[in-house]
Amino acid sequence: MAKIIGGFVIGYLLFMIAMWGYSAQQIKQICGQVTVGMSVTELRQRVVNASVIKGRERKEGQQIALLLHSSYSFGRYTCDIRHDGQRVTQVRYSFLD
């Protein structure tokens, strides 16, 4: 019984490590593809195509902030995107370590 539980624990840890790397790579890739002046429609399409990325929008004055992150990397890799509803105005990738 201990071997079965140990196998599940090791399998889970390997899965989390693999997904951490995959989600970090996806966030960095998407953030690198987003450019200032890109349409919000194109931005949303890129985010929808990314499987492990979550997006959270909030309004800040005239700007809308979109924070891309993944629960697999515990929020350490993020892409902060600002737009005015029509076009992207700012993009910033960050790694918190």
**What topology is assigned to 2-95 in CATH?**
Beta-lactamase Inhibitory Protein; Chain:B, domain 1 (3.30.1450)
pLDDT at 44: 87
Q: In the chain, where does DSSP find H-type helix?
A: 2-33, 40-49
pLDDT at 20: 84
Q: Which regions in the chain score pLDDT beneath 50?
A: none
The model's pTM: 0.77
87: helix, strand or coil: strand
